Each structure stands twice: as C-alpha cells, then as structure tokens.
Structure 1
C-alpha cells in the first residue's frame, strides 16, 4: 500500500477512535448518544469475562476506561511516532476483538458487529503495511 494511503487510513481511523472515545467520555458531543452508551455499558459489564473471576465492573468506569483507551490510542494512531502507532493499533485491535466477543455474548444481530469488524479489518490492514 502506498505510504500516503496508509497515512490517510491511519488518520481516518485515528480520528474515528478519537470521536468515539470522546462520545463515551462526555455528554457534550451528543446527549442522546451518551444516554444510549450508558445503557449499553450496563449490558456490556454484565457479560464481561472478569465477572467469572469474581470481579464486578462498574458500567460507568468501564465506559470511561474504554473511552480513554479509544481517545488516547486514536490520537497516537493518527499523530504518534511509528512505534507508538504500532502499539496503539495493537491496543485498538484488542479492543475491537473484545467488542466482537461482547456482542457475541449478548447474542446481538450480525449487523451490530459491522463497525467493530470493519475497524478490526482496517487495523489489521495497517499492521500488514
């Protein structure tokens, strides 16, 4: 893949994760979306694998942790030096795998997997470059 195309993809993906992370952290972006996210993270916390180890996640803390990870890793993916771009791509890939597993545990329809699957595919494509 051409370097300019990889850089553009990195910038777009990084920007996407910055926006989704910011939406999880603040209700200033969109109050209805923020409300929906809070309800979703209650469900996500219920199926988290850590629950089987006896650790109960607070949904709000879980949402904030995911939001900060997306925001910071997205910034590093878009603007960081190459080594930090690799690390942030890896962390975001793990996050997308976790999202797919969570949706599977909740027995959601396949259409809800599409954003996570596309992001994971693009992150893997960037890794190959």
Structure 2
C-alpha cells in the first residue's frame, strides 16, 4: 500500500508542479492571451469577491502558478508534515477551481480535470490517514513489558 501511496503522491505532485510551471511561464509570454483571458474571467467570480476582494488577473495567475508548483514539489519530495500541508492547499485550490467553473456556468466536461484531481487528492489523504491508523493499531498491540515482576495480591 505504501508503494501505491508513493506513486499517487508522485503522480499528483508532478502534475501540479508542471501545471504551475506552465502558468508561470505563460505570464511573460506574448502568446498567452488565452490564459490571461481565462484568469480575467476567474478573477470576476473569485470567491472572496463577496467580501469586496477581487484579485488582479495577472497576480491571481502568478499566485496559483506558484502555489501549484511549490505544493506539487513538496508533495513529491517534502517531509510528511509538508506533504500533508501541500495536499490540503491543493485540495482547497481544486475546490476553488470547481467553484469558479460552476460560477462561470462552464460545461461539466470543463470541470472534469479539477474534479478528478480533487478526488485523487482526497483519496491520497484518506489512504495516508488509514495507513497511519493501521501503524498505530499494530504498534499498540505489541506486548509491553510489565512494570511489576510479581502479580498484585
């Protein structure tokens, strides 16, 4: 099971690192008008707009790119605590992505990648939790040496 978890973690981390790098590389490229147009739409339905905050589309794209890149790399090579944090951040990012696509009334086929990524991130989180629980149960079942040599009478 540990091998499957590691493979899933590398797959997801690599995917997010690549997509983050693509978002960052397209910020300065003149041919990235389509990506810029998408982030203009995404900024218009940003969830915190209800509270009066609407991000600049270029800054939004930069922030999402860095978050995906760094969290993806940490998911692959980071220590377990940082892997958990990056999994959590990527899960939140996918929830915001799904919210954004639903708010824009995009077709379901447009949302499928975000839904699949969210499902895989949640699966990774649940499996890691179950693996840790299994370790705790097996360690607690080991016989501990008695503190007293003789029984109480």
> What TM-score do you get using the length of structure 2 for normalisation?
0.78
| 1:31 CA displacement | 6.8
Alpha-carbon RMSD across the aligned residues, in angstroms, is 1.5
| 1:57 CA displacement | 1.3
| Correspondence for 2:71 among 70, 73, 81 | 73
| 1:54 CA displacement | 1.9
Q: Give the length in aligned residue pairs.
A: 126
- Structure 2 match to 1:27: 26
| 1:37 CA displacement | 1.5
Q: Does 1:64 align with 2:43?
A: no
Higher helix share: 1
List 4+ stretches of structure 1 deviating above 4 A: none
| Correspondence for 1:95 among 93, 96, 106 | 93
| SS of equivalent residue, structure 1 residue 107 | coil
| SS of equivalent residue, structure 1 residue 12 | helix
- Structure 2 match to 1:50: 48
- Structure 1 match to 2:141: none
What CA distance in whole angstroms lies between the structure 1 residues aligned with 2:40 and 2:83?
31
What CA distance in whole angstroms lies between the structure 1 residues aligned with 2:61 and 2:38?
9
| SS of equivalent residue, structure 1 residue 70 | helix
- Structure 2 match to 1:120: 118
Any gaps of 5 or more consecutive residues in structure 1?
none
Q: Deviations over 1:1-37 (max 9, x none)?
A: x111110110010000001101110139x875x3322
Say if 2:72 and 2:86, in contact at 8 Å, map to a contact too.
yes
Any gaps of 5 or more consecutive residues in structure 2?
128-153
- Structure 1 match to 2:2: 3
Larger radius of gyration: 2
